[in-house]
A and B are shown apart, each in its own frame.
Chain A
Amino acid sequence: MKPAPFAYHRPTTLDDAMRLLAELAPQEGRVLAGGQSLAPMMAFRLARPAHLIDINAVAGLDGLAVRDGALRVGACVRHADFHRPVKDGALGVMLATVARHIAHYPIRLRGTFCGSLAHADPAAEWCVVAVTLDAELMAVSVKGERLIAAESFFRGAMETALEPEELLSETRLPVLSGDTRFGFAEFSRRAGDYAQAMALAVLHLDGAVIAAPRIGLGGVEAAPRRIAAAEEILQGEAPAAEVFQAAAGAAAAAIEPLQDPQTDAQYRRELAEAMVYRALMRACAPGGAEA
């Protein structure tokens, strides 16, 4: 399982990286960041890029800071950078919670947040986080830059809105207000495996009722998304098991389930329902955010 031959490039500036990408993307050139997803595909020769543009030496891509109300995650920020909450408040705790579900420790030390989004595996945790929070993704190239809304970024399994010569240089996650509650639930065969279903619930409690609910589902369809049908049921209701159940049921019914030998359509829906329910229970548990 040795990779096919490729030429290797290691730019040190973003300009060089974009220039190389513009020149080489049409010749089967790809970006190498963490490599934890790309390298295995190359080992199986499912991916045979003729050029690899290693961005690990590019200056300025490891930024992880809040500016203008958004947490900006640079292209080379690793999953492990989120292990300890990167900021106080719900967002930091949420990211730390989710990070623990990603693969395993050594993979988290190298794999990148943005790389995961660009790879767009339906069962990748950051993808469902991005769509649920309405993140903004900055795509840069020699032609300039554009900000893509998460909701239009994921086109299908392993398919994004990125053009071949574009690099995802930064993801912007909105900082969540102090009273934001969240719950995350994932089901996989073993700890660290790709999720067969995962749900992220984010909401506020306005007095005694749910406000601004967001329900994101990942791992159950070709691309992660928010489920409006579930959110509508929750809006304005007092948190209660029956309400969560109804929302979960609506989410399960709303999806076009991915099927594989381990997971037929009916089972996928059952998993989706269970994860939405659990995410909501955790979001509304006394004490706020999910631990």
Chain B
Amino acid sequence: MSDSVDVTLNVNGRDHLLRLEPRRTLLDAIREECGLTGTHMGCEHGVCGACTVLVNGKPTRACLMFAVQAQGAAIRTIDGLAAGDALHPVQRAFIAHHGVQCGFCTPGFLMLAAGVLEHDPDISDDELLEVLSSNLCRCTGYQNIVAAVRAAIAEWRGGAA
């Protein structure tokens, strides 16, 4: 083991004061030290995307970042995506379009979609499919996930003044 360092992680608007080894991944720090288990661990080598969170608004694989690197960044996870009882449009769309089966890949897809929606709502459908191909799902066969995200984007665009 190596010496632990002090790290403050800002997750969903709240600061977590932690003391951990530099090798602790951002994923493990969020899940264990911060106790936010909504972000899931699917492969730990950056392929499946189940661990996707937003770091300064950008979809990021939390398993490929060390917690110490995230000092000073604004991190958003699935645990903070809804505003209280009000679900985010992508969350509502996933329910309406049956985009969820086992739910393990769901947080990763939702954060990826939310990141795209908020950052690039005019994304072309082709680019959207490219973005969604970043994450793996084993249950749904993707069709309903794509439909859900398309619907959420349409709603987002429709509502934007």
Question: Is A in direct contact with B (CB under 8 Å) within the complex?
Answer: yes
Contact of B60 among A3, A100, A106 (CB under 8 A): A106
Residues in A neighbouring B46, C-beta threshold 8 A: 36, 39-40, 107
Task: Check if A36 sits within 8 Å of B64, measured CB to CB.
Answer: yes
Assign chain A's interface to a size class.
20 to 34
Contact of B2 among A6, A10, A54 (CB under 8 A): A6
Given contacts A35-B64, A54-B69, A106-B59, A8 and B5 within 8 Å (CB-CB):
yes
Cα A184 to Cα B52 in complex, Å, equals: 30
> Interface 1/0s, chain A 201-225, versus B by CB < 8 A?
0000000000000000000000000
State the Cβ distance, B7 to closest chain A Cβ, in Å. 10
Answer whether residue B63 sits at the interface, using C-beta atoms and an 8 A cutoff: yes
Cα A39 to Cα B2 in complex, Å, equals: 17
Interface size in chain B (residues, C-beta < 8 A): 29
Central interface residue in A6, A100, A104, A109, by most chain B CB within 10 Å: A104
Task: Check if A8 sits within 8 Å of B22, measured CB to CB.
Answer: yes
Contact of A192 among B5, B63, B133 (CB under 8 A): B133
Given contacts A6-B2, A35-B64, A191-B130, A44 and B45 within 8 Å (CB-CB):
yes
> Interface 1/0s, chain B 58-88, versus A by CB < 8 A?
1111011110110000000000000000000
Task: Check if A8 sits within 8 Å of B68, measured CB to CB.
Answer: yes
Residues in B neighbouring A109, C-beta threshold 8 A: 58-60
**Residues of B participating in the A interface, judged by any CB pair closer than 8 Å:** 1-3, 5, 21-23, 25, 28, 44-46, 49, 52, 58-61, 63-66, 68-69, 112, 130-131, 133-134
**Residues of A participating in the B interface, judged by any CB pair closer than 8 Å:** 1-8, 10, 32, 35-36, 39-40, 42-44, 52, 54, 56, 100, 104-107, 109-110, 191-192
